[in-house]
Amino acid sequence: MKIVYCLQGLHYSGGTERIITAKANYLVSHGIDVYIITTEDNDRQSFFPLDTRVKHCDLGLNLYAHWSNSLLKKIYFHIRNKWKFQHSLTTLLNEIKPDIVISTFCGEVIPLSHWKGRKILEYHYSRYAFEQKRRITAFRCYDDWKYQQHLKAIKRYDRFVVLTHEDAPNWTEFDNVAIIPNINGFECEQSASLKNPVVVAAGRLVEQKGFDKLIEAWSIVCKRTEGWTLHIYGEGALRNELQKLIDEKGLGNRCFLAGLCSNIKEKYLESSIFTLSSVYEGFGLVLLEAMTCGVPVVSFACPCGPRDIIADGENGFLVSPGNVEELADRLIYLIQHPEKRKEMGLKAKQSTENFSKEKVMKQWIELFEDLCKEK
């Protein structure tokens, strides 16, 4: 079997790139030919380790180089790049002759939808995130037009794979929806001792991650507990704004914007609780990472991901989205109940087996085989 993945670039350090790399490595190790076609790498190496048997083909089109231009230029480059990309992609696919081509909903999503062969669209976000593309900006007309083009493209794929059972019902206008969760490619044989007075969060410092809500909740926690600290790992545009909020709340010695971390596993193992305060997620891989290290989690039940990962009260706590007081209460409960932390931490680690590489990739291979039988 010959499989082709299409995505923006392998040199990026995001969750999609990590997941696709892990899938490709798994498939080639099981005798499947895998190609990855990118548009933005320009001789840059894959950020995540890539098996040498995976064939990487970069088209060097730089589709996103003009993303911040004026509306007219944006439309011009969209039209120019669309035809250029479609020609380059079709030519390469005709040479490769794949059994199945997979789009990751990047620039290839519309051009690839016209490919005559078997094709899968896998979406690493959620319907909620998809709707956010129709933002109210100077580009609203363009965004609405692009939104409609994407809806039409989704229908042309043989399968549209979403990540969660929570998200699937949000795509009822399509009859090609399948559900396959993300791989938990994070490995950790150890488990956190859960004795350190440390709570950890991780993600980009952007509005989506809701760290302002977390800091508000933490200010409540600090009034009712002593000695515990919150460490937020990540960087982003809101660093100064969040630091100002920390200072205004008088949390300077108990809440830290810890920056990027090259060894986040070590930080999980040194913590006793992980918390996620996002407004929305595609899946919430950081939850699985922390749970793999035996750390109990407290998360907003945001769309989508946490509800598929967390069994409330068993391996962690789900909190009403945006409810700062409830988030604080759950954090305080785990801080004050070390035995419950241990019990939840153990169940958290056990529950990550549901997202193991073997279990998830078995679903993908079955989908490939079923699709090949259909035509």
165-169, 182-186, 315-319, range with the lowest pLDDT: 182-186
Q: Is residue 192 included in any domain, yes or no? A: no
Share of the chain above pLDDT 90, in %: 82
User: Which has more confidence, 67 or 367?
Assistant: 367
In terms of domains, do 61 and 176 share one? yes
In terms of domains, do 170 and 216 share one? no
Q: Is residue 319 included in any domain, yes or no? A: yes
In terms of domains, do 296 and 167 share one? no
User: Which has more confidence, 16 or 82?
Assistant: 16
Q: Is residue 191 included in any domain, yes or no? A: no
Alpha-carbon gap, residue 16 to 26, rounded angstroms: 15
> Amino acid letter at 284?
G
In this structure, what are the phi and psi dihedrals at residue 204, rounded to the nearest 5 degrees?
-65, 145
**Residue 215's domain is classified under what CATH number?**
3.40.50.2000
Give residue 69's pLDDT: 58
In terms of domains, do 8 and 140 share one? yes
Query: Interhelix angle for 211-224 vs 239-248, to 10°?
Result: 20
Give residue 86's pLDDT: 86
In terms of domains, do 217 and 301 share one? yes
Give residue 65's pLDDT: 63
Task: Report how many domains make up the chain.
Answer: 2
The dihedral formed by the CA atoms of 290, 294, 297 and 303, expressed in degrees to the nearest 10: 50
Pairing of strands 229-233, 33-38: unpaired
* Residue whose token pair is 């082709």: 4
Q: Kindly tell me if the per-residue pLDDT of 356 is higher than 70.
A: yes
Give residue 323's pLDDT: 99
> What mean pLDDT comes out for the span 298-327?
98
In terms of domains, do 135 and 238 share one? no
In terms of domains, do 170 and 283 share one? no
In terms of domains, do 158 and 218 share one? no
Q: Is residue 56 included in any domain, yes or no? A: yes
In terms of domains, do 370 and 239 share one? no
Q: pTM of the full predicted structure?
A: 0.89
Give residue 14's pLDDT: 82
> What mean pLDDT comes out for the span 29-48?
94
244: containing domain: 198-355
What pLDDT digit, counting tens, does each position of 39-95 carry? Answer: 999 989 999 999 999 999 999 887 766 555 566 766 676 677 777 888 999 999 999
> What mean pLDDT comes out for the span 319-336?
99
Q: Is residue 16 included in any domain, yes or no? A: yes
Alpha-carbon gap, residue 363 to 346, rounded angstroms: 26
The pLDDT mean for the chain works out to: 93
In terms of domains, do 254 and 324 share one? yes
In terms of domains, do 152 and 255 share one? no
Q: Is residue 188 included in any domain, yes or no? A: no
Q: Is residue 189 included in any domain, yes or no? A: no
In terms of domains, do 162 and 207 share one? no
> What mean pLDDT comes out for the span 257-274?
96
Q: Is residue 227 included in any domain, yes or no? A: yes
Tokens of 182: 């993300």
Tokens of 295: 């750390």
